[in-house]
């Protein structure tokens, strides 16, 4: 089995991954991201406990199918690198490969199909006493480079990509983290669907929307929060396009399987990437996660979008919404669907979208996913089919 | 017969025969005989493009004239309409098609003036943004020092 896992990992790496944040883990009573992730707001690196839970709770079981570590009996191999290399507690490496194949249809006719290299990153998180640091570097293909995370600047070839790198110190007895660097913008649900309207409209996806700044995050048993001073994305040139401001969220657990939160973001740039005009961009919203029945998780986010070209005397008002249903009938196998809407201030049309698909966590640290996304409201209706394979260390 | 999960996984990643993505900037350059492909940002919010990101007035105009995603024929038709209608998105007296031939943005300039370049991404060759690489370098040094510290601690124990 270990040999097969090696072969699969190498095959995936050779062909060509996204950071992971699974808000649906609230079904298991995990309202705190920091239980499993080194980032207190979730995503990217797993801690030792998170590695173990990815095997004990997340992946399909081909044996007796027990769910807790107490019942499983065997030591979880996912707590080790590639399943067999023991790791020191201070060193948490990570690697991601995500490869997909996409079909795009307009008015029901396939007009585009291609292989999609989504992620190929390596990184590490270290924890030495109160000191913390993390960094990741990756490859961006000519067609799939996340532009806002580029380190190199090729416009036609592949690029070196750096989504996150930061250093900081744990405070408040380890419940808090004060850090500086390139960090995920704290806002809303940290959902994997980085092209969803809520993530795109607020520019808070974690594929490429990280920015440089100073952030303070805190995780308490019943609540968590993070605030960040946004100092500008140094991957964007010239400086006029860099947004500076603040963002943050706070989430309160209403119980072991329910949480609600609020988010806010205000950022100013001398030139908007869209209009080149000096712009104040704001987003305010609420989000919620609830699992009324273990196999079922509902997630929702509603955001108000305010866009003000400075000096114009006008204020564009828009909104974005996301409602997602995740059903896990068998451990590791998810059926999901989502409805979304978006109106950006500059357009009169309300765009709508519907998502549906399957997500299978085949082995620890290996998952497959198939999505169908229908969108309409701006131009002709479009449909996207995407299959992807993801492996991570 | 039960499929082994590994086999299923391999089957999913097997179809790697990609074909080139229809390239609107290159197609526009070909159709209008431009010296260089225009930036994606004449239609999209950023050079990343993508569905739902056509926010520029010129892009919306092309959509109103039949432009469809990935359909180069519809692009040719929409550009033809722009030429035939003598459309001038920003009303500066330079027709959209002429603006493209002059290497200008049909959506016009901003209060920054025409000298504000389009956004570029990654470390700047002009050195105005060495922060990314410098930050990484600092982080690597810090990590290296931390590793040495751990080695020293282990040596004592």
pLDDT tens digits, residue range A123-140? 999 999 999 999 999 998
pLDDT, mean of residues A333-348? 89
d(C-alpha B113, C-alpha B124), whole Å: 22
A342 vs B contacts (CB less than 8 Å): 52
The C-alpha of A270 sits at a distance from chain B's nearest C-alpha, in angstroms, of: 8
What is the pLDDT, as a whole number, of residue B113? 45
Distances (CA, A) of A246 to A184, A262, A310, A316, B31: 12, 14, 18, 20, 44
Predicted confidence (pLDDT) per residue in B6-44, tens digit: 444 333 333 333 333 357 888 888 888 887 778 787 887
Structural contact between residues B52 and A198, judged by C-beta atoms closer than 8 angstroms: no
What is the pLDDT, as a whole number, of residue A116? 87
Provide the 8-state DSSP code for B3: P
d(C-alpha A22, C-alpha B27), whole Å: 40
pLDDT, mean of residues A246-259? 96
What is the pLDDT, as a whole number, of residue A81? 67
pLDDT, mean of residues A138-164? 87
pLDDT over threshold 70, residue A121: yes
How distant is the alpha carbon of residue A372 from its chain centre?
Answer: 19
A148 vs B contacts (CB less than 8 Å): 46, 48, 121
pLDDT over threshold 70, residue A19: no
Helix (H) or strand (E) holding A73: none
B18 vs A contacts (CB less than 8 Å): 114-115
Best to test chain B binding among A5, A12, A238 (most B CBs inside 10 Å): A238
Poorest-pLDDT segment among A121-125, A193-197, A361-365: A361-365
pLDDT, mean of residues B84-93? 79
Poorest-pLDDT segment among A100-109, A163-172, A348-357: A100-109
pLDDT over threshold 90, residue A227: yes
d(C-alpha A369, C-alpha A31), whole Å: 24
Beta-strand relationship, A244-255 and A223-232: antiparallel
pLDDT, mean of residues A74-86? 62
Poorest-pLDDT segment among A219-223, A239-243, A334-338, B80-84: B80-84
Q: DSSP for A102-150? A: EEEEETTEEEEEEEEEEEEEEEEEEEETTEEEEEEEEEE-TTT--GGGB
pLDDT over threshold 50, residue A206: yes
pLDDT over threshold 90, residue A189: yes
Helix (H) or strand (E) holding B141: helix B131-156
CB contact under 8 A, B120 and A155: yes
Nearest residue to A286 (alpha-carbon basis) of A253, A249, A316, A256 = A249
pLDDT, mean of residues A9-28? 55
The C-alpha of A36 sits at a distance from chain B's nearest C-alpha, in angstroms, of: 22
What is the pLDDT, as a whole number, of residue A380? 82
Distances (CA, A) of A119 to A46, A159, A386, B55: 17, 12, 15, 27
Provide the 8-state DSSP code for A81: B
| Residue A22, helix vs strand vs coil | coil
What Rg, from alpha-carbon coordinates, does chain B have? Answer: 25
Place of tokens 């394979």: A389
Poorest-pLDDT segment among A236-240, A287-291, A322-326, B60-64: B60-64
What is the pLDDT, as a whole number, of residue B142? 64
Question: Which of A237, A346, A362 has its CB closest to that of B124?
Answer: A237
Structural contact between residues A232 and A211, judged by C-beta atoms closer than 8 angstroms: yes
Structural contact between residues A34 and A45, judged by C-beta atoms closer than 8 angstroms: no
d(C-alpha B95, C-alpha A137), whole Å: 44
pLDDT over threshold 90, residue A385: yes
**In the beta sheet, which residues pair with residue A114?**
A102
d(C-alpha A173, C-alpha A384), whole Å: 47
CA dihedral in degrees (B80, B86, B89, B92; nearest 10)?
Answer: 140
Residue, of A70 and A332, whose pLDDT is higher = A332
pLDDT, mean of residues A5-27? 51
Q: How many CA atoms does the CB half-sphere of B12 hold within 13 Å?
A: 27
Nearest residue to A299 (alpha-carbon basis) of A78, A27, A41 = A27
Nearest CA in chain A to B11: A389
The ranges assigned to domains in chain B are 20-108
Tokens of A241: 């396009």
d(C-alpha A210, C-alpha A190), whole Å: 12
pLDDT over threshold 60, residue A66: no
**In the beta sheet, which residues pair with residue A290?**
A258, A298
What is the pLDDT, as a whole number, of residue B11? 38
Predicted confidence (pLDDT) per residue in A294-328, tens digit: 999 999 999 999 999 888 788 889 999 999 999 99
CB contact under 8 A, B9 and A389: yes
Structural contact between residues A180 and A168, judged by C-beta atoms closer than 8 angstroms: yes
Tokens of B48: 């990343």
Residue, of B11 and A189, whose pLDDT is higher = A189
Neighbour tally for B126: CB within 10 Å: 10
Nearest residue to A56 (alpha-carbon basis) of A48, B125, A124 = A48
What is the pLDDT, as a whole number, of residue A363? 85
What is the pLDDT, as a whole number, of residue B16? 32
Poorest-pLDDT segment among A48-57, A75-84, A239-248: A75-84
Residue, of B109 and A172, whose pLDDT is higher = A172
What is the pLDDT, as a whole number, of residue B128? 38
CB contact under 8 A, B136 and A124: no
Structural contact between residues B78 and B67, judged by C-beta atoms closer than 8 angstroms: yes
CB contact under 8 A, B128 and A237: yes
Average model confidence (pLDDT) across chain A: 86
Nearest CA in chain B to A131: B146
Predicted confidence (pLDDT) per residue in B102-156, tens digit: 778 888 754 444 467 888 888 644 433 344 445 555 565 566 566 566 656 766 5
Chains A and B: how many Cβ contacts under 8 Å?
Answer: 191
pLDDT, mean of residues A190-215? 93
Q: DSSP for B44-66? A: BSSTT--TT-B-SHHHHHHHHTT
Helices (H), B5-126: 5-13, 24-32, 57-64, 72-84, 96-101
Tokens of A298: 């509902």
Nearest residue to A372 (alpha-carbon basis) of A327, A325, A321, A336 = A336
Domains and CATH numbers, chain A: 2-392 (2.40.160.10)
Q: Mention every residue, 6+ apart, whose C-beta is less than 8 A from residue B54.
A: A378, A379, B43, B44, B60, B63
Provide the 8-state DSSP code for A85: B
């Amino acid at each position: 089995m270990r040999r097969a896992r090696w072969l699969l990992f190498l095959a995936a790496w050779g062909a060509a991954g996204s950071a992971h944040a699974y808000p649906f883990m609230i079904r298991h009573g995990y309202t705190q991201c920091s239980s499993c992730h080194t980032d207190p707001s979730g995503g990217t690196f797993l801690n030792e406990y998170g590695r173990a839970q990815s095997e004990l709770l997340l992946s399909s079981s081909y044996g007796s199918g027990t769910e807790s570590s107490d019942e499983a009996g065997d030591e979880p191999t996912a707590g080790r690198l590639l399943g067999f290399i023991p790791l020191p507690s201070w060193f948490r490496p990570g690697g991601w490969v995500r490869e997909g194949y996409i079909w795009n249809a307009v008015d029901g006719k396939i007009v585009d199909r291609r292989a999609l290299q989504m992620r190929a990153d390596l990184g590490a998180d270290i924890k030495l006493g109160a000191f913390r640091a993390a960094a990741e570097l990756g490859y961006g293909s000519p067609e799939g480079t996340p532009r806002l995370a580029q380190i190199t600047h090729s416009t036609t070839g592949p690029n070196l990509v750096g989504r996150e790198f930061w250093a900081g110190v744990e405070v408040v007895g380890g419940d808090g983290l004060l850090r500086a660097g390139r960090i995920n913008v704290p806002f809303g649900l940290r959902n994997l669907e980085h092209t969803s309207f809520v993530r795109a409209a607020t520019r808070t996806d974690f594929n490429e929307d990280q920015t440089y700044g100073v952030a303070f995050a805190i995780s308490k048993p019943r609540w968590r929060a993070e605030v960040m001073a946004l100092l500008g994305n140094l991957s964007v040139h010239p400086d006029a396009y860099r947004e500076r401001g603040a963002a943050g969220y706070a989430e309160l657990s209403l119980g072991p399987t329910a949480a609600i939160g609020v988010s806010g973001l205000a950022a100013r740039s001398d030139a908007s990437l869209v209009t080149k005009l000096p712009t104040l961009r704001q987003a305010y919203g609420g989000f919620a996660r609830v699992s009324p029945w273990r196999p079922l998780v509902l997630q929702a986010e509603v955001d108000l979008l305010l866009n003000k070209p400075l000096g114009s005397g006008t204020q564009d008002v828009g909104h974005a919404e996301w409602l997602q249903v995740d059903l896990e009938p068998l451990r590791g196998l998810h059926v999901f669907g989502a409805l979304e809407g978006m109106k950006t201030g500059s357009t009169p049309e309300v765009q709508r979208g519907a998502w549906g698909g399957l997500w299978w966590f085949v082995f620890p640290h290996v998952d497959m996913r198939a999505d169908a996304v229908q969108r309409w409201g701006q131009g002709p209706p479009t449909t996207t089919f995407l299959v992807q394979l993801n492996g991570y260390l | 017969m039960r499929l082994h999960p590994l086999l299923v996984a391999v089957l999913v990643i097997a179809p790697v025969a990609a074909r080139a993505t229809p390239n609107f900037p290159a197609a526009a350059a070909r159709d209008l005989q431009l010296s260089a492909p225009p930036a994606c940002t004449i239609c999209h919010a950023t050079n990343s493009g993508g569905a739902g990101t056509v926010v520029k007035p010129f892009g919306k105009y092309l959509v109103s004239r039949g432009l469809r995603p990935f359909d180069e024929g519809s692009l040719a038709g929409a550009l033809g309409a722009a030429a035939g209608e003598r459309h001038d998105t920003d009303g500066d007296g330079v027709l959209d098609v002429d603006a493209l031939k002059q290497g200008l943005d049909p959506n016009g300039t901003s209060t920054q003036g025409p000298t504000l370049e389009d956004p570029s991404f990654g470390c700047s060759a002009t050195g105005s943004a060495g922060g990314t690489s410098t930050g990484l370098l600092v982080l690597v040094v810090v990590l290296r020092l931390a590793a040495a510290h751990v080695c020293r601690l282990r040596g004592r124990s």
